[in-house]
Amino acid sequence: MGAIVFALEAFLDTYRLAALLIGVFAVEYLARKQGFQWDETGKRTTTQSAQVVAAGFGLGAAVVLLMVGVAWGAGLAQVTLGSPTLVGLGLGVVTPLAQAARDELLFRGAPLAMMKDRIPDRFALPFVALLGAAPLWLQPSPSLVGVAIAVVTGWIFALALRAGRGVLLAWGAHAGWLFMLGAGTRGGVLDVSLGAGIWLPLGYAEGTVAWVALGVVTLVAVGASVLYFRPRPSSAPNPSEAQ
C-alpha cells in the first residue's frame, strides 16, 4: 500500500496536495478495516479533537524552534522574522496536515492497529519508528544523519500516538514539525539561513546543523520516553500495556 501511495504522489507531483489527500483517504479506508480509530477514547467532541491536534502541532513546531535556537546560539544559523502572507501560511499549514495524516496512518496508525493485542509495545513502537524512515532509503544515497532524524522523530510520534490514545496528537505533532521545518523557517514565521549544512530534504540532511538537529530531537525523544514510561501508581495501567 505504501508503494502505491508514494507512486501516486510521484505521478501527481504537480498536484501534490491532491495526491496526499487521495493517499489519506485510501490508507484510512484500509486502516479502519484493521480496527484503526482516530480517537481511541471514543469520547472526544470535534472541538476537543481539534484542540488535541492543535496542541500536537504546537509541540512539533516547538521542536524545530528548539533546533533553530540551538543552531543560532552556536553561530550556525542566521534568524530573522519572516514576512508571512495569508495564502502562504494557509498552503504552508494545509500541505503538512495532509502529509502528516497520510504518514501517521500509513507508518504508525495502521501498523499499530494490526499489531494490537498481538505484539507488545516494546517491539511495536520501535518497529513503527523505523518504518517511518523507510521512504528515505528509496532515495539515491540518503544521508545517515537524515535517516537517523527520521527514525528518532518517528519514535516521538509513536509515543505521541500512544500517549494521545489515538492518532490525533501524533498527527498534530508531525504536521507542526513539517510546517516549521519547511514553510515556517522559510519566511512563514522565521527566515532561517543555515550556514553549515541543510535540513531539507531530510533524506539529504548534512553538515553540522544536521547533527545539531539530530542531537536536539534525540534529547526530546529521551525526555518524551522518560515521561511516557515513568512509573505510575499501581492503580494506573502501564502505557505500554494499555493498548
**For residue 243, is it within any domain?**
no
**For residue 60, is it within any domain?**
yes
**For residue 239, is it within any domain?**
no
**For residue 235, is it within any domain?**
no
Domain count, the chain: 1
| Beta carbons of 158 and 150 less than 8 angstroms apart | no
The pTM assigned to this predicted structure is 0.88
Residues of the chain with pLDDT under 70: 1-15, 234-243
**For residue 242, is it within any domain?**
no
Structure confidence at residue 13 (pLDDT): 52
Only one residue has cell 494506573, namely 236
| Beta carbons of 54 and 48 less than 8 angstroms apart | no
Backbone angles phi, psi at 29, to 5 degrees: -60, -45
Angle (nearest 5°) at CA 36 between 126 and 39: 95
Task: Work out the number of other CB atoms within 10 angstroms of the CB of residue 26.
Answer: 17
Distance between CA atoms of residues 15 and 84, nearest Å = 23
Query: Which of 154, 151, 162, 150 shows the shortest CA–CA distance to 115?
Result: 162
Structure confidence at residue 14 (pLDDT): 54
* Contact residues for 87 (Cβ-Cβ < 8 A; gap 6+): none
Structure confidence at residue 243 (pLDDT): 46
Q: Which structural domain range is residue 218 located in?
A: 2-229
Structure confidence at residue 196 (pLDDT): 85
